[in-house]
Amino acid sequence: MNGLYRARRWLGRNSLRLYAVVAFTYIFLPIAYVTMYSFNDGGKTNIVWRGFTLDNWLDPCGAADVCQAVGNSLQIGLLSTAIATVLGTMIAFALTRYRFAGRTPTNLMIFLPMATPEVVLAASLLTLFLNLGIPLGMTTIVIAHVMFSISFVVVAVKARVASLDPRLEQAAMDLYATETQSFLRITLPLVAPGIGGAALLAFSLSFDDYIITSFNSGDVNTFPKFVYVAAQRGIPAQAYVVGTAMFFIALFVVFAGEVFRRRRASR
């Protein structure tokens, strides 16, 4: 009985830790698999482990069309992120700081792209582009990515703007700062972390998207499309290299941002 009581007591104290271990194992196991198989000497079909090699990392463009697909995804992601971040930030400020006719319906409309199934959104956009006579390609992909990314930007930036103390801007104006100076020196630096996080989220959504892209891309190949097609015959190790590199780059950006935030707070 004492042993059972001790076991229950230990489990009660460490249940949260055990849950955290299981959850993180579940999340990071696929990433560990991708990282491991990026070093596999598997040739064109990277399914069975055949030995360790660095050739995949030394020649990430060894598989046909992989670098072109990654380049297209990066170009689309950066362009759509820039547009969505600027427009989403302006919308977030308008919805938070001003009262105007249609403000409540606009708030509701912002959530529609987030709540609509991607396949429905993709088919609707495809129908719109075809009816307008817009040829499918890079332009239609960017428009589609801006459309679904802007909602996430608005939500992220809006939460940051709503948490700001308006008295800070009022104090700046009391010290003879103009509205422009108050915005550039007070408001924008305080909102910058939210804008940066929203931009990273928009880029990751754009780079990762397959369904909407496949409907509206035409002949343009992106990295998710490349992986989907390659999966039918065995994903090459170079795709795992790109995935691993993107993960560690994102990890580095988050870590660097956290270090910068702590140093700034300590000052």
**Residue 33's CB: how many other CB atoms inside 10 A?**
11
How far apart CA 226 and CA 64 sit, in angstroms, is 10
Indicate the SS3 state at residue 201: helix
**Residue 101's CB: how many other CB atoms inside 10 A?**
7
For the record, the structure tokens of 98 come out as: 């001003």
Residue range 22-44: mean pLDDT, rounded: 87
**Residue 233 near residue 36 (C-beta atoms within 8 A):** no
* Per-residue pLDDT, 116: 86
Residue 127 has pLDDT above 90, yes or no: yes
For the record, the structure tokens of 154 come out as: 């608005």
64-235 CATH fold: MetI-like fold (1.10.3720)
* pLDDT per residue as tens digits for the range 132-151: 999 999 999 999 999 999 99
pLDDT band at 257 (very low <50, low <70, confident <90, very high): confident
Query: Considering the entire predicted model, what is its pTM?
Result: 0.84
Write the CB contacts of 239 (distance below 8 Å, at least 6 apart in sequence).
46, 63, 66, 223, 226, 227, 230
**Residue 234 near residue 46 (C-beta atoms within 8 A):** yes
Q: What is the mean pLDDT of the chain?
A: 86
How far apart CA 21 and CA 129 sit, in angstroms, is 47
Indicate the SS3 state at residue 52: strand
**Residue 53 near residue 40 (C-beta atoms within 8 A):** yes
